[in-house]
Amino acid sequence: MKVLKRYLSNLGRRGELLVPLSFLIASAYFFYLAFEFRGAFVMMRQGVGPDLFPKICTAFIMVFSLWLIYTEVKEGGLSEFERPANPQNLWITIAFMLVYAFLLEIVGFIVLTPIWVAAYMLAIGMRRWRWLIGATVIFSAFMIVVFPKLMLIPLPRGIGIFREISFLIF
Protein backbone atom coordinates (compact mmCIF):
# COMPACT_ATOMS: atom_id res chain seq x y z
CA MET A 1 0.00 0.00 0.00
CA LYS A 2 2.83 2.37 0.90
CA VAL A 3 4.61 1.63 -2.36
CA LEU A 4 1.41 2.29 -4.30
CA LYS A 5 0.83 5.55 -2.41
CA ARG A 6 4.39 6.72 -3.07
CA TYR A 7 4.07 5.76 -6.73
CA LEU A 8 0.78 7.67 -7.08
CA SER A 9 2.19 10.77 -5.40
CA ASN A 10 5.09 10.76 -7.86
CA LEU A 11 2.89 10.00 -10.83
CA GLY A 12 2.85 13.60 -11.98
CA ARG A 13 6.63 13.76 -12.06
CA ARG A 14 7.01 10.37 -13.68
CA GLY A 15 4.77 11.61 -16.51
CA GLU A 16 7.79 13.27 -18.15
CA LEU A 17 8.70 9.78 -19.29
CA LEU A 18 5.34 8.05 -18.99
CA VAL A 19 3.55 10.29 -21.49
CA PRO A 20 5.96 9.80 -24.42
CA LEU A 21 6.27 6.13 -23.47
CA SER A 22 2.48 5.73 -23.67
CA PHE A 23 2.50 7.48 -27.04
CA LEU A 24 5.25 5.13 -28.22
CA ILE A 25 3.49 1.93 -27.16
CA ALA A 26 0.09 3.02 -28.48
CA SER A 27 1.45 4.25 -31.81
CA ALA A 28 3.47 1.05 -32.30
CA TYR A 29 0.28 -0.95 -31.76
CA PHE A 30 -1.74 1.22 -34.17
CA PHE A 31 1.08 1.10 -36.73
CA TYR A 32 0.87 -2.70 -36.61
CA LEU A 33 -2.95 -2.58 -36.95
CA ALA A 34 -2.67 -0.44 -40.09
CA PHE A 35 -1.23 -3.46 -41.95
CA GLU A 36 -4.53 -5.26 -41.54
CA PHE A 37 -6.78 -2.68 -43.18
CA ARG A 38 -9.03 -4.32 -45.73
CA GLY A 39 -8.37 -3.11 -49.27
CA ALA A 40 -5.01 -1.60 -48.42
CA PHE A 41 -3.01 -3.72 -50.86
CA VAL A 42 -5.58 -3.52 -53.67
CA MET A 43 -5.58 0.27 -53.47
CA MET A 44 -1.82 0.47 -53.43
CA ARG A 45 -1.70 -0.71 -57.05
CA GLN A 46 -4.10 2.02 -58.17
CA GLY A 47 -3.12 4.88 -55.94
CA VAL A 48 -2.76 5.48 -52.22
CA GLY A 49 -4.34 2.98 -49.87
CA PRO A 50 -6.25 3.65 -46.64
CA ASP A 51 -3.28 2.45 -44.61
CA LEU A 52 -0.65 4.92 -45.80
CA PHE A 53 -1.73 7.98 -43.87
CA PRO A 54 -2.24 6.22 -40.51
CA LYS A 55 1.16 4.57 -40.98
CA ILE A 56 2.83 7.93 -41.62
CA CYS A 57 1.16 9.48 -38.55
CA THR A 58 1.98 6.61 -36.20
CA ALA A 59 5.53 6.35 -37.52
CA PHE A 60 6.14 10.03 -36.82
CA ILE A 61 4.57 9.70 -33.35
CA MET A 62 6.97 6.83 -32.62
CA VAL A 63 9.98 8.83 -33.83
CA PHE A 64 9.06 11.92 -31.81
CA SER A 65 8.23 9.85 -28.71
CA LEU A 66 11.60 8.10 -28.86
CA TRP A 67 13.32 11.43 -29.36
CA LEU A 68 11.48 12.86 -26.34
CA ILE A 69 12.34 9.86 -24.17
CA TYR A 70 15.99 10.16 -25.22
CA THR A 71 15.99 13.89 -24.39
CA GLU A 72 14.33 13.34 -21.00
CA VAL A 73 16.71 10.54 -20.05
CA LYS A 74 19.74 12.51 -21.26
CA GLU A 75 18.76 15.65 -19.39
CA GLY A 76 17.99 13.53 -16.33
CA GLY A 77 15.95 14.48 -13.29
CA LEU A 78 12.20 14.78 -13.06
CA SER A 79 10.70 18.23 -13.14
CA GLU A 80 8.75 19.51 -10.15
CA PHE A 81 5.12 20.55 -10.44
CA GLU A 82 3.25 23.22 -8.56
CA ARG A 83 1.06 21.44 -6.03
CA PRO A 84 -2.58 22.57 -6.31
CA ALA A 85 -4.68 23.47 -3.25
CA ASN A 86 -6.98 20.46 -3.65
CA PRO A 87 -5.07 17.72 -5.53
CA GLN A 88 -7.59 15.08 -4.45
CA ASN A 89 -10.26 16.81 -6.56
CA LEU A 90 -8.66 15.36 -9.69
CA TRP A 91 -9.56 11.81 -8.62
CA ILE A 92 -12.95 12.92 -7.28
CA THR A 93 -13.73 14.57 -10.63
CA ILE A 94 -12.67 11.50 -12.62
CA ALA A 95 -14.79 9.25 -10.38
CA PHE A 96 -17.80 11.55 -10.65
CA MET A 97 -17.45 11.81 -14.43
CA LEU A 98 -17.37 8.02 -14.73
CA VAL A 99 -20.46 7.69 -12.56
CA TYR A 100 -22.26 10.40 -14.54
CA ALA A 101 -21.48 8.85 -17.92
CA PHE A 102 -22.51 5.41 -16.63
CA LEU A 103 -25.79 6.55 -15.07
CA LEU A 104 -26.87 9.09 -17.69
CA GLU A 105 -28.55 6.54 -19.94
CA ILE A 106 -30.24 4.80 -17.00
CA VAL A 107 -31.39 7.72 -14.87
CA GLY A 108 -31.67 10.34 -17.61
CA PHE A 109 -30.45 13.92 -17.76
CA ILE A 110 -33.30 15.55 -15.86
CA VAL A 111 -33.14 13.43 -12.73
CA LEU A 112 -29.41 12.82 -12.69
CA THR A 113 -28.06 16.31 -13.35
CA PRO A 114 -29.37 18.18 -10.25
CA ILE A 115 -28.36 15.30 -7.96
CA TRP A 116 -24.95 15.01 -9.61
CA VAL A 117 -24.30 18.77 -9.54
CA ALA A 118 -25.12 19.02 -5.81
CA ALA A 119 -23.19 15.86 -4.85
CA TYR A 120 -20.16 16.81 -6.93
CA MET A 121 -19.95 20.33 -5.52
CA LEU A 122 -20.17 18.92 -2.00
CA ALA A 123 -17.49 16.35 -2.78
CA ILE A 124 -15.01 18.93 -4.10
CA GLY A 125 -15.44 21.00 -0.95
CA MET A 126 -18.02 23.62 -1.90
CA ARG A 127 -19.61 24.67 1.39
CA ARG A 128 -21.27 27.95 0.37
CA TRP A 129 -24.83 26.69 0.62
CA ARG A 130 -26.47 29.58 -1.22
CA TRP A 131 -24.29 28.91 -4.24
CA LEU A 132 -24.68 25.17 -3.94
CA ILE A 133 -28.49 25.19 -3.93
CA GLY A 134 -28.80 28.14 -6.30
CA ALA A 135 -26.44 26.68 -8.91
CA THR A 136 -28.09 23.26 -8.71
CA VAL A 137 -31.60 24.59 -9.26
CA ILE A 138 -30.94 27.47 -11.69
CA PHE A 139 -28.36 25.71 -13.83
CA SER A 140 -30.37 22.49 -14.12
CA ALA A 141 -33.46 24.50 -15.09
CA PHE A 142 -31.42 26.49 -17.65
CA MET A 143 -30.08 23.33 -19.27
CA ILE A 144 -33.55 21.80 -19.52
CA VAL A 145 -35.08 24.95 -20.99
CA VAL A 146 -32.29 25.58 -23.52
CA PHE A 147 -31.48 22.09 -24.78
CA PRO A 148 -34.66 19.97 -24.91
CA LYS A 149 -37.25 22.76 -24.85
CA LEU A 150 -35.85 25.54 -27.05
CA MET A 151 -33.38 23.64 -29.23
CA LEU A 152 -35.39 20.39 -29.29
CA ILE A 153 -32.22 18.40 -28.56
CA PRO A 154 -33.32 15.08 -27.01
CA LEU A 155 -31.03 14.67 -24.00
CA PRO A 156 -31.05 11.13 -22.50
CA ARG A 157 -34.37 10.35 -20.79
CA GLY A 158 -33.30 7.26 -18.88
CA ILE A 159 -35.25 4.04 -18.51
CA GLY A 160 -38.32 2.86 -16.55
CA ILE A 161 -39.69 5.32 -14.02
CA PHE A 162 -36.97 7.84 -14.86
CA ARG A 163 -38.15 7.87 -18.45
CA GLU A 164 -41.70 8.58 -17.25
CA ILE A 165 -40.44 11.49 -15.15
CA SER A 166 -38.44 12.86 -18.10
CA PHE A 167 -41.50 12.69 -20.34
CA LEU A 168 -43.38 14.87 -17.85
CA ILE A 169 -40.90 17.65 -18.55
CA PHE A 170 -39.80 17.18 -22.17
Segment near another protein (CB under 8 A); pick from 1-9, 139-147, 158-166 = 139-147
> If binding is defined by CB under 8 A, does position 99 make contact with another protein?
no
- Give the residue, chosen from 21, 28, 100, 165, that forms a contact with another protein under the rule CB under 8 A: 100
28 sits near another protein (criterion: CB under 8 A)? no
155: left (phi over 0), alpha (psi -120 to 50) or beta: beta
Give the distance, in angstroms, between the CA of residue 141 and the centroid of all CA atoms in the same chain. 26
CA gap 122, 75 in Å, rounded: 43
**What is the Cβ-side half-sphere exposure of residue 111, based on CA atoms within 13 angstroms?**
19
2 binds another protein (CB under 8 A): no
Residues 1, 3, 4, 85: which binds another protein (CB under 8 A)? 85
Selected from 6, 7, 8, 33, the binder of another protein by CB under 8 A is 33
**Could you say which of 32, 35, 41, 131 contacts another protein (CB under 8 A)?**
131
Q: Please, what is the minimum distance in Å from the beta carbon of residue 142 to another protein?
A: 9
Candidates 8, 25, 126, 159; binder of another protein (CB under 8 A) is: 126
- Output the CA–CA distances (angstroms, integers) from residue 96 to 68, 71, 92, 102, 123, in the order listed: 33, 37, 6, 10, 9
What 3-state DSSP class applies to 52? helix
Measured distance CA(154)–CA(170) in Å, rounded: 8
Residues between 45 and 84 with contacts to another protein, criterion CB under 8 A: 46-50, 52-54, 57-58, 60-61, 64-65, 67-68, 71, 81, 84
Chosen residue from 21, 28, 43, 165 binding another protein by CB under 8 A? 43
SS3 77: coil
